[in-house]
Structure formats: structure tokens, C-alpha cells
Amino acid sequence: MGVNVAVVGATGAVGEEILKILEERNFPVDELRLLASKRSAGNKLSFKGKEYVVEELVNDSFKGINIGLFSAGGDISKEFAPIAVKANTIVVDNTSAFRMDVNVPLVVPEVNSDDIKKHQGIIANPNCSTIQMVLALKPIHDEAVVKRVVVSTYQAVSGAGHRAIQELKNESRSILENDGSFKRDIFPHQIAFNVLPQIPQSDAFLESGYTSEEMKMIEETKKILGTDSIRVTATTVRVPVDRGHSESVNIETERKITADRAREILSKFPGITVVDDPAGQRYPLATDAAGKDDTFVGRIREDNSIENGLNLWVVSDNLRKGAALNAVQIAEKLVNG
């Protein structure tokens, strides 16, 4: 039996990726409705060889729709997700609008798929950098109980959308050609050949000195893993990479877990591929992860500065598992149980 699906934000980077993944995974789409702002309405997108016209998102957009995949920004989700729910649409929301709502499950299917059953019409997709980290944390937490996490991220510009990707390319070209004509629009400082310790680039820092992205990782990790006892601290950084987030993750556990044991349990966990051959200079790279579904883990080693510590290098395609794929996997759970 087919499912009527709406993609909200269909012309954005994540929306376009959702369409690709729905097609790749042969999701049982009956009716497909592509929704976006008035500015993008009228654009045409292809799905399974058929051309679809993008419609303007309005209050009546969800009539007859079973599942709505939202990726058009938090304000849009706050306004239209409740409208969709009233129309009996189950919303899988890729924004931060509902993630910390106690009545909204925050789900990574490989980690806490049972939480999907608790939904009241809305299921939240976690932050991209959180998703890949909790995938790596889950088997270690089950084995040895994670006490504390220190994470530093190296996040691709695609996390800020299509225009950010283009800004990196244009600024790089301008610098290499020394033409001096480039006008910055997305980032507060040069991103080409540089790193920016501020994500998102448009937000002011919080009073604590953290950014909202860092706080998302801290709070979402606890909610997904179902415990407030894990202490998490984060520094999130934007790097001049097109696609694929990388993370240095330092973990302290209650019980000792060796690097060899960590490799063993990580390699068996769904959605994870271990790439860990230092002698052969093999470790996860953003360029290798781009376009792939799995989260890649390497540089697995014990942290000798504490009694029970591990270091991991975790890489994933932020537009796929970090956003679109995770949302589609949630939709698959809704359909297949």
C-alpha cells in the first residue's frame, strides 16, 4: 500500500537529498507533494523519472498526506507542523523546533527506534552532528556506560545550505585569482582556507559562551540516549569542506573498554563502518563519506590520561545520515513498524 508524502522545503539542500533517498530506497510513495516558499513555487523537480511542480506551502497543503518530511527551517516547522498534525499527517521534522519538547520523540533509528511509538503527531530528527556522535556512543554506552564526552566538530559548509556551498567556492576562487571582488554574504569571516569556531554563523553566542549548535549536541545526546547522567561538552567548528562532518570524540566510561573491544562492537553496530588502519594511513575522511549512508569511525585508541578513556574520529555525510536519510529511516519505521 502506498503512502502519501509531502516534502516541505523540497528545493533546499536537505529537501533535494530527501527526494534522492526516497527514490534510492524505493520508499512506497503513492502521492508526492513538493512544498516550498512562494519564491520557489513553480520550480520543477524529478522523482522516479516523473517531473513534479513545487507548490507553495499553505494551510491546506496537507490534505490527504500521511507523512510530512519537514526541512524548511524552524519558524516554518513551528507554524505548519501543528497544521499538518491537525490534518492527520505525521510530521518528521528536521529542524530544531521540537527536538527538546518533552512530548516529541527525538530519534536516531539505530539507537532509539522504540521512541517513535511515543509520538503525538511529530517526531524530531536530531542535529546532524549529534546523529553521527550518538551512533558511535550507543554501543560503547551499552558496553561500558559513558560518563563524559568531549567533542570537537569539523563541520562542512553544506550544513548551512546551498548558498554556503557556493560562497565557499566563490571565495576560494576570488582568493586564488586575487581579484578582490568577492562580497561575503553567509559567513561572518572568511571561510575559504580558514576555520570558524562559530556554528551557526548567524547566531550570537549564548551568555555561557557556548553556541546554540554546541548546546544542541549537549542536550540532544542526553535525550536520545535516555539519560541525564552523561556529561557532554562541545566545540563546533565550520571548516572549508563541501560535504561531510568530522568529529574528534573523547569518551570517559564507567568500566574499562579497550580499543580492540571498541573496534569489535562498533564494527557490529548497524549504520557504522570502522575504518581504522593507522599503519596503512586508513581512517575516515569527509571526501570518502560523502554520498554514503554509514557513519565512519576510526583513530580508535585508548586515552591514557584517564583510567577509562577512548578517543574516536567520527565522520558522516551531514546531508544524508545527518539529515535526509535519518528522516526517511524514521518514515520507514512508521510504515513498516
Q: Which residues are catalytic?
A: 128, 245
How far apart CA 83 and CA 78 sit, in angstroms, is: 9
Per-position b or e across 150-166, b if 16+ CB within 10 A of its CB: bbebbbbbbbbeeebbe
Nearest-5° angle of CA 136, CA 96, CA 245?
A: 40
Number of helices (H), then strands (E), belonging to the chain: the values are 9, 14
Decide: helix, strand or coil at residue 264: helix
Whether the bond between 200 and the residue before it is cis, its omega within 30 degrees of 0, is yes
DSSP 268: H
- In whole angstroms, what separates CA 265 from the centre of its chain? 23
User: Residue 10 burial (CB < 10 Å; 0-12/13-18/19+)?
Assistant: buried
Provide CB contacts within 8 A for 65, sequence distance 6+: 4, 5, 6, 31, 33, 84, 87, 89
The answer to whether the CB of 41 falls within 8 A of the CB of 64 is no
How far apart CA 81 and CA 121 sit, in angstroms, is: 9
Long-range contacts of 54-60 (CB under 8 A, 24+ apart): 54/10, 54/11, 57/8, 59/83
How far apart CA 110 and CA 272 sit, in angstroms, is: 10
CA proximity to 36, closest of 4, 80, 66: 80
